[in-house]
Amino acid sequence: MLEFLDVYARHADQWGPRLADAAVVSARISILGFMLATVVGLILGLAQEASSRIVRTVVRGYIVFFRGVPVLAILFLIYFGLPGVGIVFDAEPAAVVGLGLAFAAQMAEVFRAGLGAIPRGQWEAAMSAGFRPAQTLFLIILPQVVRIIAAPVIVTFVALLKDSSLASLITVNELVLEGRALATEYFLPLHIYIWVGAMYFLIAFPLSMLAKYLAKRARGARA
């Protein structure tokens, strides 16, 4: 056991900075991807309630497609497949777009559930008070939705963060790919992959706990 830990002590200087740099890349694609997912997801979530049947069908199709196809297949399609029809992405933007579009489908469901939890009376009360629809949405409805969806939003972010590891397979130099490079260089894959796993855990675990706490609080508020 001590021997096992000693390896870390000896290599911390070399591995630490490189994995820290790679973690920045992981964080960057996760955050940018999540921002894209949030915006697209909100639009989809609202469009699901649209009166136009065509709009609703398109949204439904989008969600069915992205819920049915693995994130990895989407990343490959964007990064390796699209150049075949003349659309070329660098690896990192491809990862952001792929993660963002895939998780937008999940965010749409989160928003839809959140919006659905707000009683019609809230819209009616705001409209009768003279608010325009956009004002009603942003001033009255969304602040209530935020409380309800805080926990599932964080859960979705953690899932996206974990799936950002797939970007390693389209050559993005994030944590897992850097880990692979180190593993071949030092030939200590067990030590290195454990370190890599721990770095994800250090970010994901507190977020998961926060989500649990918020979910509990939201349940308490409604009960």
Closer CB to another protein, 132 or 216, in the complex? 216
Taking the complex as a whole, how short is the minimal distance between the CB of residue 64 and another protein, in angstroms? 7
Taking the complex as a whole, how short is the minimal distance between the CB of residue 96 and another protein, in angstroms? 17
The residue among 48, 24, 43 whose CA lies nearest residue 164 is 24
Closer CB to another protein, 32 or 73, in the complex? 73
Taking the complex as a whole, how short is the minimal distance between the CB of residue 143 and another protein, in angstroms? 26
Closer CB to another protein, 17 or 61, in the complex? 61
Longest C-alpha distance within the chain, in Å? 72
CB 15 within 8 A of CB 192: yes
Report how far apart, in Å, the C-alpha atoms of 81 and of each of 14, 64, 74, 203 are: 36, 21, 9, 32
The residue among 110, 109, 101 whose CA lies nearest residue 152 is 110
Closer CB to another protein, 18 or 180, in the complex? 180
Closer CB to another protein, 132 or 219, in the complex? 219
Taking the complex as a whole, how short is the minimal distance between the CB of residue 204 and another protein, in angstroms? 4
d(CA 135, CA 50) in angstroms, rounded, equals 18
Taking the complex as a whole, how short is the minimal distance between the CB of residue 30 and another protein, in angstroms? 11
Residue numbers at the binding site for another protein (CB under 8 A) = 64-65, 67-74, 76-77, 80-85, 158, 161-166, 168-169, 176, 179-180, 183, 187-194, 196-197, 200-201, 204-205, 208
Q: What is the CA radius of gyration of the chain?
A: 21
d(CA 75, CA 165) in angstroms, rounded, equals 11
